[in-house]
């Protein structure tokens, strides 16, 4: 099954479908009855858009401490700061490295010319800001478009999780070298993503300057690098620290910005459900198909990480199963529908057949999701679609 190309990167493949996120125990978030506004919760991640719910996520997975949201700032776990790796300015690619990056049919000169054009495109797409007022102006100018902000410092690269902190202490030299490579790669990924995703706005803030450090403080940034995702003046998600940041840049743009690689629009394959009427229309419009409803929230990392797989399934299962997505915290009607559907954990996948609910899957295991879809359709006598044709040379090993 084909993976979905996110802007600037490739989303997780479904080849290892039996695994959850990163092959570990699938994560999920809980939708809990909300206490009064302002009350804390040890696992608080973010408020939903209405006072009906709070969202809490398990902190048992070490990666969870890397994902922060504005409402969780006061409950963020305090980590001892690791040694900081000096990050050198990335040099211009040498002729030999440009030749190594040649595409099929390109000459070395053509490859170099293409890289120059791509670099110019990146310069056009990434706006450098140096203060908080400049950030506010950029947010206002963006209107309803997704804004992706990278906050960094050329001299600092912090991993942002406990496991990495242990590695720093165990072998500082090796960790510093790894951090250097990781943060250089992050810069390249951010640049490629900006180049390939014209519908989103990309900003870069250097926190190594006086005004930049002040802006970072205003933005609540405590770990460098940090990438924040903003919609309509509100921060919807944040990844703090270099660990897994390359993956999360592409997945965040895919989830929030309705933008994937090769000009793909996820909403063309996964219908956005905003209320009960929208869900009824999707179900009634697919009387003979299995309808899969992905109930997620905008702040749960597990929902963001599973979405590339949902999109891949929607593309490959066209005519076999129809997919919709309900963001529980997007609006009052969406929250009401979530309660009506009795969803208490996200992501939850609800399966409808012939207008009736026929099953559910809770969690971010891609393998379990695929297996349940195939099982329901098999029981109904519906054969699975054939695998998509492979591109020429796909799956072959060089040598």
Q: Using CA of residue 243, residue 249, residue 251, residue 255, what is the dihedral sign? A: positive
**b or e along 78-92 (b: 16 or more beta carbons within 10 Å of the residue's beta carbon)?**
ebeebeebebeeeee
228 belongs to a structural domain: yes
Do residues 210 and 288 both lie within one domain?
no
Task: Summarize pLDDT for 357-390 with one digit per residue, the tens.
Answer: 999 999 999 999 999 999 999 998 998 887 766 6
Q: Are residues 256 and 269 in the same domain?
A: no
Instruction: Provide the percentage of residues in the chain whose pLDDT is more than 70.
Output: 64
DSSP 268: G
Please indicate, yes or no, whether residues 328 and 304 belong to a single structural domain of this protein: yes
Q: Tally the domains of the chain.
A: 2
Q: What is the pLDDT of residues 189-200, one digit of tens each?
A: 998 888 888 889
162 and 232 co-located in one domain: yes
Identify whether 196 is part of a domain: yes
Domain that holds residue 201: 121-261
End-to-end, the C-alpha distance of the chain in Å comes to: 24
pLDDT of the residue at 262: 65
Does one domain contain both 298 and 322? yes
Query: Are 322 and 207 members of one domain?
Result: no
Contact criterion met (CB below 8 Å) for 54 and 41: yes
Report the CATH number at residue 355. Answer: 3.40.30.10
Verify that 293 and 211 share a domain, yes or no.
no
Please give the radius of gyration of the chain, using alpha carbons only, rounded to the nearest integer. 22
If asked whether residues 225 and 133 sit together in one domain, one would say: yes
Residue-level pLDDT at 104: 77
139 and 227 belong to one structural domain:
yes
Report yes or no on 198 lying in a domain: yes
Q: Which residue has the higher pLDDT, 8 or 127?
A: 127
Q: What is the pLDDT of residues 294-350, one digit of tens each?
A: 999 998 999 999 999 999 999 999 999 999 999 999 999 999 999 999 999 999 999
Residue at a domain's end among 245, 261, 277: 261
Q: Is 189 inside any structural domain? A: yes
């Amino acid at each position: 099954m084909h993976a979905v190309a996110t802007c600037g990167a490739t989303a997780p493949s479904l080849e290892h479908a039996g695994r959850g996120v990163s092959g570990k125990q699938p994560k999920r978030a809980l939708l809990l009855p909300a206490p009064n506004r302002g009350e804390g919760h040890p696992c608080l991640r973010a408020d939903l858009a209405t006072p009906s719910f709070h969202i809490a996520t398990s902190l048992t997975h070490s990666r969870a401490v890397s994902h922060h949201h504005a409402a969780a700032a006061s409950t963020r776990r305090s980590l001892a700061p690791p040694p900081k790796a000096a990050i050198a300015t990335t040099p211009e690619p040498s002729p030999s490295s440009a030749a190594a990056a040649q595409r099929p049919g390109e000459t070395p000169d053509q490859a170099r010319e293409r890289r120059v054009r791509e670099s110019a495109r990146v310069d056009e797409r990434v706006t450098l800001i140096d203060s908080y007022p400049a950030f506010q102006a950029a947010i206002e100018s963006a209107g309803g478009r997704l804004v992706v902000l990278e906050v960094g410092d050329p001299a600092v690269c912090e991993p942002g999780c406990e496991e990495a902190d242990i590695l720093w202490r165990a072998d500082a030299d090796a960790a510093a070298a790894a951090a250097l490579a990781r943060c250089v790669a992050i810069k390249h990924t951010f640049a490629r993503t900006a180049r390939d995703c014209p519908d989103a706005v990309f900003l870069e803030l250097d926190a190594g300057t006086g005004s930049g450090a002040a802006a970072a403080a205003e933005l609540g940034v405590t770990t460098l690098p940090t990438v924040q995702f903003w919609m309509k003046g509100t921060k919807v998600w944040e990844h703090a620290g270099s660990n897994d940041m390359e993956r999360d840049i592409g997945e965040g743009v895919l989830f929030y910005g309705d933008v994937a690689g090769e000009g793909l629009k996820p909403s063309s394959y996964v219908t956005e459900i905003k209320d009960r009427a929208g869900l009824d229309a999707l179900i009634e419009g697919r009387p003979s198909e299995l309808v899969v409803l992905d109930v997620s929230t905008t702040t749960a990392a597990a929902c963001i990480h599973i979405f590339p797989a949902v999109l891949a399934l929607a593309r490959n299962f066209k005519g076999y199963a129809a997919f919709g997505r309900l963001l529980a915290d997007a609006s009052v009607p969406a929250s009401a529908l979530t309660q009506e559907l009795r969803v208490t954990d996200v992501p939850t996948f609800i399966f409808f057949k012939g207008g009736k609910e026929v099953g559910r899957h809770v969690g971010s295991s891609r393998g379990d999701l695929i297996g349940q879809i195939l099982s329901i359709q098999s029981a109904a006598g519906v054969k699975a679609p054939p695998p998509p044709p492979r591109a020429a040379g796909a799956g072959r090993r060089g040598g």
